[in-house]
Each structure stands twice: as structure tokens, then as C-alpha cells.
A and B are shown apart, each in its own frame.
Chain A
Amino acid sequence: MLSVRTLALATAALSTTALAVPAHADPVEIQWWHAMAGKNGELVNQFADEFNKSQPDYKVVPVFKGGYADALNAGIAAFRAGQAPAILQVFEVGTATMMAAKGAVKPVYQVMADAGEKFDPQSYLPAITGYYSTKDGKMLSFPFNSSTPVMYINKDAFKKAGLDPNAPPKTWPEFFDDAKKLKAGGSACGFTIGWMAWTQLEVFSAWHNKPIATDENGIGGTDTKLEINGPLQVKHLQDLVNAAKDKSFDYAGRTTEPEAKFVSGECAMIQTSSGGYGVFKANAKFDFGVAPLPYYPDVAGAPQNTIIGGASLWVMGGKKPAEYKGVAKFLSFLSQTPIQVRWHEQTGYLPITKAAFEETGKEGFYDKTPGFDVAIKELTNKAPTENSKGLRLGNLPQIRDIVAEEVEAALNGTKTPKEALDSAVSRGDVLLRQFQKTAS
């Protein structure tokens, strides 16, 4: 850098016009690879811009890399070539993969400590940070965009069917009952479900305080086995199969595809990510409400609390100390209340700090947009237990696909719910053992 400065000074000395000479070297560039498209992507760029303008030493460069899987693959490929970005956004199911990659990542708590940034894990919402922390509460990655499943109801369809639009079903029996009434009362379908494996098995289990896998859902170690074939999950899948038989339930795909059926008014209720709020707000031609997920009232301790989905920011390993300092500063910047409030209100993703949640409430945002706080309330319903603080399984993207495949087999009648879930567990466990081998 010396030569550049010498040159700059020489130029300044020689030139007759007053040249603005930077008193320091060029800002350190920090690559941030992400998978935020559309509106979310615009905000990402804004945050980076504001951070870059707020100080002269570091320059965050956000790069859009496609979908979550694409971003993760791009990050991995870049790491192998020695060109990894400093910050990589990874979806929650990739958490175990990133954690196992010792040397490829640098835990966030360490990045903050090395840089001497003020960092208080207590100021974050434990229901969110728990998912990305070690057993003893050290934050490994920075929860950037988090969501949780909620239930949306079409209030107009409720009125039409003679149901009270301000009293959404609270329990599963009520939910199935309302679905039948809605179908009889003119809706083409009673309900549909997005992100089936996540909402109806992972989160469903946590919501009823049932384990998803041994070893605290995998947080305790890689020697973990799936437990989603318990009597409650089998009973629940049987109920869903029955609802599909009488057409009060319409299955429409594994991820966000079913959301179109709710927006079009075809299905009167949907359970899907809280991140769907913005899409529904923009496109639904009817009045809709948001409500907590239903629960089985005969299960002790239900409802417990939900777990999150979404993605977090991982700091990649092998970078220079100056870059890590900048990363730490940027993560502090992202944790600021005004930034978090904006992110929350404009995207529907959850704020990650207690302060941001309180601030949003004080602004009266939740009064103006009823139902927007359902997600937070579900997450913080009770103090998380071993079964509900999170989930950390290797090869989770494929395990989710396996679960979806088996659920599909149950829904189209080729397997009984018990057979389907047993098969999901045995196939999933094979992948868990594979992961255990590579991770140890």
C-alpha cells in the first residue's frame, strides 16, 4: 500500500488543484454472499450501503448467488479454490454441515471477541439464537433472517361458511372440523400446507414438546437418530391422510407452492412460514388473519414453542485479521435496533434482538398489522426445552426431502402413516450415520 500512498501524495504535491487525498489506505473489502432476492435483496444492498457510508475503513460488497442451495454451493466451491467470501448466508438446514467444517468457518462469538466488539448474547432472542449456538450458548453464526410456521385463515371464506372469522381454530380437532365446514360452505378446499416436512413434523414435534431426534435433536452430538415416528406424529399424519381423503385437505407441494392456493382463495386455511406474510398482503384479494399453529389438547405441555427456519450468516475461515474486524463491526451494525426493526417490518422476518421486538411494539406496528406478532409469540411461548430449542442434523436438506417423499407416499395411499414414518426414520438415519463418519 506504501507505493499507492506515495503516489497519491506525490500527485497531491504536484497538482495545482486541491486533490482530496484519503488519509488512509483503501477500505478493506468484505464479500457477503447471499440468497436474498426481490425486496429482501434490495434491503440487503441498502444495509451494506449504509454501513459503508457510516465508516471509512471497511466496504461490504453483497453478492446475490441465487437460491439457498446455490449460495451454499458457491460458497463451498469458492472455499475449495481459496476464494471464499468473508460472510456466507446459509439456510438453517445447512447449519450442521457448516459446523462440521472446522477450519472452513470461524464462529461468530470468536470473531466478536477477537475484534473486541461489544457483544452481549443476552440481548438476542434465545428462541432464535439457540438454533445457531453451541450447547453452552456460544453463538456460531449470526441469525440474519428467521421465520417460523404460522396459520393463515381467509376471513371472507370463514364468514361465507358461517364460522366466526375472529375465532380461528385453536386445536387440531377444531382445525379439521372447520376445514370440513369451510369445504361444505363453498371453499374448494379446506386447508393446504406449505413446507410440509418442516411445519408438520419438525415444528409440530417441538410445538408438542416431542423430540425430533435423540441427543437434543442433534444439538448434543452427531450420534443422533430420528424420532419422528412416535405415536403422536403417526396419529397426526393419519389425521392429515383422512383430511386428504375427504378433500378438505389439498396437498400441493413441498415448499411454497401451496401458498398460491391460499392467495387464489381456493384453500381457506394454510399453515406455512411467517415469511409468507408479505406475499399474502400484496396479493390476496380477501381479508386474512394470522393465528398460532393448532395443537392436540390431550398432549401434556402443548403448546410448547415453535422452532425457526430461515438462514444465518456464517463467517468463513482463513481470512486476514483486518477483514474479521470489519465483519465484526458489520454484524454489530446489523444488530442495531433501527436496522432490525426495518428488516422485521419490511420483510416479515423476525427481529433477532429483544430491543427490536419491543421497539416495533412501541411504534404500534403490531396494532396496525394484526397477526404480525404471532410468530414471535409462538417462538417465545415457553422457555425452550431439549425438544424445542432447535434442530441440528447433518444432511438435513436430503432428510427433509426423504420425509416429504414418505409423507407423499402416505397421502397417495401407497403406504400407511406408520410405514411411511418408519421408513423416513430408517432412511434418514442412514444419512445421519454417513454424516457422523465425515464429521468426526
Chain B
Amino acid sequence: MQRRVVFDGKLLPMLLVAPQLAVTLVFFFWPAAEAVYFSTQAQDAFGLSTEFVGLDNFRAVFADPAYLHSLGVTAVFSVSVTLLAMLPALLLAVMADRVVRFAAVYKTALMLPYAVAPAIAGVLWLFLFAPGIGIVANMLRWLGIDWNYVLNGDQALLLVIVAAAWKQLSYNFLFFLAGLQAIPKSLLEAASIDGAGGFHRFRTVVLPLLSPTTFFLFVVDVVYAFFETFGVIHAVTGGGPSKATEILIYKVYYDGMVGLDLGGSSAQSVILMVIVIALTAIQFRYVERKVHY
């Protein structure tokens, strides 16, 4: 039974949500509206000449093979990052949950990467894997592997996927651990008495009870892969080689900030916004059915 909190009057609750609403309005709705407006305009970088072009920018975006390529890269990238950030996190959380001695040490160590800023994380990976200066890169070359991600697109994509997943692993670990610790011991003991083995217990008791956490992380990780991986990609590959790591968010930045094509870049961010809203809606509609709260 939950205890319901009821406010008398309307002023206090409104006051309490006002700051959050203000932040959302200023930092989300306003820029989003600007993007929608700009996406229908064609203008030079300095804003000296502006004309309304309707949906021309969107047509140009979808006619651009580089954009379609970027869509494909984003699909591979986001699926890989989400899986790679979630599965090992779950495994580590289960392990950490069983550790008795030095548990705090392990847990702290596993949470550390989350405190690293994305750009810094990118640079760390760069120092390990950059051909020429990277420690790991030199080891790989010594082993006879032709490691050069500035020329090899597959290697570059692999590297940014791993770097981005590593960054998000801690966050997932933390939530999985909290989820695991919320599972009543009595349930697991009951299952043991019924003769369920370790893996069977995990599959039939732990996983279903973890499903709200898993679902939440799934949504968060997809959004992370779409947006917050920008820093890692910017620092490690800059979208290269030959656009092999140019995900949608990077292309928005590149076409807008480097290309100074504000109309095209805004059209892309509107499309990106629609994609992520649609993905989240689909997740809530279809995936959430499998969640037991």
C-alpha cells in the first residue's frame, strides 16, 4: 500500500514543478522549436539572406547518399553500444552482488568510468589506440595485427563502440545492482528449496523481477547511443575515416558547425528528434508489455 500525498490547493504544487518546467521550456522546447523553424529556411551562414523553402531541406537530406549511409552507421552503432553497455553490466552486477569481502572496493571501481567526461574518455581511448602513440596500438602492431583505425573504417567503428559502451557500463551496473538488491531474499530461498539451480533461479526469478530496471536502462541507453556519444566520436575519430563513424548526431554538428549549412543541419536534427521520439514510443508500447512491475 502506497501512502498518497495530497496537496491542499493548487499553488504549491505548481510552484514546485515550475523550475523544472522552466528549464525544460528554455533548454528543450525553445531550441527544438527554433530547429523546426530553421529547417524550413535556406540562409547563408551570416543570416544576410533568408528565404522560406518549405520542405526542400528535408528532400535534400533524404536525397543525400551520405545521410542514408549515416543512418546505417547509426543503426549498427546504437544497437551495438546498447547491447555492449547492458549485457556485461548485468553480468558484473550479478558478480558484484555475490561478493562479500571488499564489495565496496569492487563497486567503486566499477562505477568510476561514469565520472569521466565523454571527451576525456575519448582522449583516454585515443592514447591507448592511436596508431603511432597508442600503447595498445603498438602492442597490436607488434603482434602483427595491422591496426590503423585512421584508415580502416571497421576498426574505427569498433573502437568508438567499445569506448562509448565502456562509458555507459558503470551507469547500467549501478542500476542493475540496485535492482538486484531490491529482490527479496525470501523468494530466492524459496526457489532454492524447490530445487531450482543457480541459472534457473536467475532466469525465472531474478530476470523477471529485474525487468523494470532493464527496460528503463534500455530506453536510456538507446538515447545515450544516439546523442551523448558525440564527445567520444569527436575526440577519437571525428566521424572518419571516410564517414565510417559518422552517426546522425555527428553529422548534424558537422553540417551545421563546419559546413555552416543551417537549414540542412536543422532538418537533420528535426529528423533525429522524430526518430528518437518514435523509438521511445515504440519501446513503451511494445517492450514495456513484457515488464512486470
* Least distance between B158 CB and chain A CB atoms (Å): 15
Residues on the B chain within 8 Å of A408, using CB: 150-151, 240-242
Q: Size band of the B side of the interface?
A: 20 to 34
Q: Mark B206-248, 1 if CB is under 8 A from A, else 0.
A: 0000000000000000000000000000000010111100000
How far is A104 from B45 in the complex, measured between Cα atoms in Å?
10
Report whether B48 and A104 are in contact in the complex, using a CB–CB cutoff of 8 Å: yes
* Least distance between B242 CB and chain A CB atoms (Å): 4
Report whether B132 and A69 are in contact in the complex, using a CB–CB cutoff of 8 Å: no
Q: Mark B28-48, 1 if CB is under 8 A from A, else 0.
A: 000000000000001011111
**A408 nearest CB neighbor, chain B only:** B241
* Least distance between B28 CB and chain A CB atoms (Å): 20
Residues on the A chain within 8 Å of B260, using CB: 73, 76, 97
Report whether B259 and A79 are in contact in the complex, using a CB–CB cutoff of 8 Å: no
**B261 nearest CB neighbor, chain A only:** A434
Q: How many residues of A contact B (CB 8 A)?
A: 36
Report whether A73 and B257 are in contact in the complex, using a CB–CB cutoff of 8 Å: yes
Report whether A104 and B258 are in contact in the complex, using a CB–CB cutoff of 8 Å: no
Report whether B132 and A100 are in contact in the complex, using a CB–CB cutoff of 8 Å: no
Complex interface residues of chain A between 420 and 440 (CB less than 8 A to chain B): 434, 438-439
Report whether B132 and A438 are in contact in the complex, using a CB–CB cutoff of 8 Å: no
- Confirm or deny: B81 has a beta carbon within 8 angstroms of a beta carbon on chain A: no
Report whether A412 and B259 are in contact in the complex, using a CB–CB cutoff of 8 Å: no
- Confirm or deny: B181 has a beta carbon within 8 angstroms of a beta carbon on chain A: no
**A253 nearest CB neighbor, chain B only:** B150
Report whether A254 and B132 are in contact in the complex, using a CB–CB cutoff of 8 Å: no
Report whether B258 and A260 are in contact in the complex, using a CB–CB cutoff of 8 Å: no
**A72 nearest CB neighbor, chain B only:** B260
Residues on the B chain within 8 Å of A266, using CB: 132
Residues on the B chain within 8 Å of A102, using CB: 48
Report whether B131 and A252 are in contact in the complex, using a CB–CB cutoff of 8 Å: yes
* Least distance between B133 CB and chain A CB atoms (Å): 5
- Confirm or deny: A264 has a beta carbon within 8 angstroms of a beta carbon on chain B: yes
Report whether A438 and B44 are in contact in the complex, using a CB–CB cutoff of 8 Å: yes
- Confirm or deny: A143 has a beta carbon within 8 angstroms of a beta carbon on chain B: no
**B238 nearest CB neighbor, chain A only:** A254
- Confirm or deny: B164 has a beta carbon within 8 angstroms of a beta carbon on chain A: no
How far is A97 from B260 in the complex, measured between Cα atoms in Å?
9
Complex interface residues of chain A between 72 and 111 (CB less than 8 A to chain B): 73, 76, 79-80, 97, 100-104
- Confirm or deny: A123 has a beta carbon within 8 angstroms of a beta carbon on chain B: no
Select which of A80, A253, A412 is within 8 A of B46 by beta carbon.
A80
* Least distance between A152 CB and chain B CB atoms (Å): 15
Residues on the B chain within 8 Å of A257, using CB: 130, 132, 150
Given A97-B45, A102-B48, A408-B242, CB of A397 within 8 Å of CB of B152 = no
Report whether B151 and A397 are in contact in the complex, using a CB–CB cutoff of 8 Å: no
Select which of A76, A264, A405 is within 8 A of B133 by beta carbon.
A264
Q: Mark A321-346, 1 if CB is under 8 A from B, else 0.
A: 00000000000000000000000000
How far is A408 from B161 in the complex, measured between Cα atoms in Å?
21
Report whether A252 and B132 are in contact in the complex, using a CB–CB cutoff of 8 Å: yes
- Confirm or deny: A65 has a beta carbon within 8 angstroms of a beta carbon on chain B: no
How far is A25 from B45 in the complex, measured between Cα atoms in Å?
36
Residues on the B chain within 8 Å of A251, using CB: 148, 150-151
Report whether A395 and B259 are in contact in the complex, using a CB–CB cutoff of 8 Å: yes
Residues on the A chain within 8 Å of B240, using CB: 254, 404-405, 408
Select which of A69, A101, A264 is within 8 A of B48 by beta carbon.
A101
How far is A103 from B150 in the complex, measured between Cα atoms in Å?
41
* Least distance between A149 CB and chain B CB atoms (Å): 19
Residues on the A chain within 8 Å of B259, using CB: 395, 397-398
Residues on the B chain within 8 Å of A412, using CB: 151-153, 241
How far is A254 from B257 in the complex, measured between Cα atoms in Å?
18
How far is A263 from B151 in the complex, measured between Cα atoms in Å?
21
**A395 nearest CB neighbor, chain B only:** B259
Given A257-B132, A408-B240, A412-B152, CB of A398 within 8 Å of CB of B258 = yes
Report whether A103 and B48 are in contact in the complex, using a CB–CB cutoff of 8 Å: yes
- Among the interface residues A102, A408, A434, which one has the most CB atoms of the partner chain B within 10 A? A408
Report whether A264 and B47 are in contact in the complex, using a CB–CB cutoff of 8 Å: no
Q: List 8 A-B contacts (CB under 8 A).
A: A102-B48, A104-B46, A104-B48, A252-B131, A260-B133, A261-B131, A408-B151, A412-B152
Given contacts A250-B148, A408-B151, A411-B151, 14 further A-B contacts (CB under 8 A): A69-B257, A79-B47, A80-B46, A97-B45, A100-B44, A101-B48, A252-B148, A257-B150, A260-B132, A397-B258, A406-B242, A408-B241, A438-B42, A438-B44
User: What are the 9 tightest A-B residue pairs by CB atom distance, in nearest-first order?
Assistant: A261-B132, A104-B46, A405-B242, A80-B47, A101-B46, A408-B241, A412-B151, A438-B44, A253-B150
